[in-house]
Amino acid sequence: MVEIVPYQQTWPEEFRVIGARLRQALGPLALRIDHIGSTSIPGTAAKDVIDIQVTTASLDEPLSSAMSSIGYVRLEGFADHRPPDSYGPKSDWAKWFFLPPPGQRKTHVHVRVQGAANQRYPILFRDYLRAHPATAQAYVELKRRLAQHLADPDTYADVKDPAVDLIYLAAEEWAAAGGWQFGPPDA
């Protein structure tokens, strides 16, 4: 079952603690560490999972070993959903996905390559929703209804992806019109 919970004031601090641990373990392997997903958008209800993006120069063994050394478990076979306007090779949507060590709060760590289309997507999406609270609340309502009415919770992300794409396409227009750029990393 997918559960959407009200915004928790503790989410930013929980990210800071986990982000600092990742920064210490990964050092220069992590070019950026960012709080992404709905828990990174103030006032937004979400699944109680801290999503983190680690940006790296490449998906290679030193990073995987560093993550394993602090207890993260890599799950195989993950790639990101491609929005309708995507271009470039399939490799632009490759990622590594890690679950947290035992005893740590529920966290999803997405490792993506700097400059790849999928590395930009979640940060632009987050920044757009932070700047457009009414859109963020409409997105929350969609997630609540999906969580309540989906017979198979494993399809939650697949059903949600087209709506996320609609927001992302608007975010791309917003970025182009306003000159959006990456801000500093969160950790």
CATH code of the domain in which 91 resides: 3.30.460.10
Q: How many domains does the structure of the chain reveal?
A: 1
Q: What tens digit of pLDDT does each residue of 80-116 get? A: 888 887 878 888 899 999 999 999 999 999 999 999 9
Q: What tens digit of pLDDT does each residue of 16-36 get? A: 999 999 999 999 999 999 999
Around 53, how many Cα atoms within 13 Å sit in the side-chain half-sphere? 26
- The first and second tokens of residue 4, run together, are 């959407």
Which residues are within 8 A (CB) of 36 and not within 5 positions of it... i.e. 6 or more apart? 51, 52, 53, 110, 122, 123, 125, 126
> Is 146 part of a structural domain of the chain?
yes
Q: How many whole angstroms separate alpha carbon 170 and alpha carbon 168?
A: 5
Arithmetic mean of pLDDT, 139-147? 91
pLDDT band for position 3 (cuts 50, 70, 90): very high
Specify the range with the lowest mean pLDDT, choosing from 15-19, 34-38, 158-162. Answer: 158-162
- Rounded percentage of the chain residues whose pLDDT exceeds 70: 100
Q: Could you tell me how far CA 125 lies from the centroid of its own chain?
A: 9
> Is 86 part of a structural domain of the chain?
yes
E strand or H helix that includes residue 98:
strand 96-99
> Is 1 part of a structural domain of the chain?
no
Sheet architecture: strand order including 32-36: 32-36, 50-56, 107-113, 96-99, 73-75
Q: Which pLDDT belongs to residue 140?
A: 94
> Is 183 part of a structural domain of the chain?
no
> Is 79 part of a structural domain of the chain?
yes
Domain enclosing residue 45, as ranges: 11-178
Q: How many whole angstroms separate alpha carbon 101 and alpha carbon 99?
A: 7
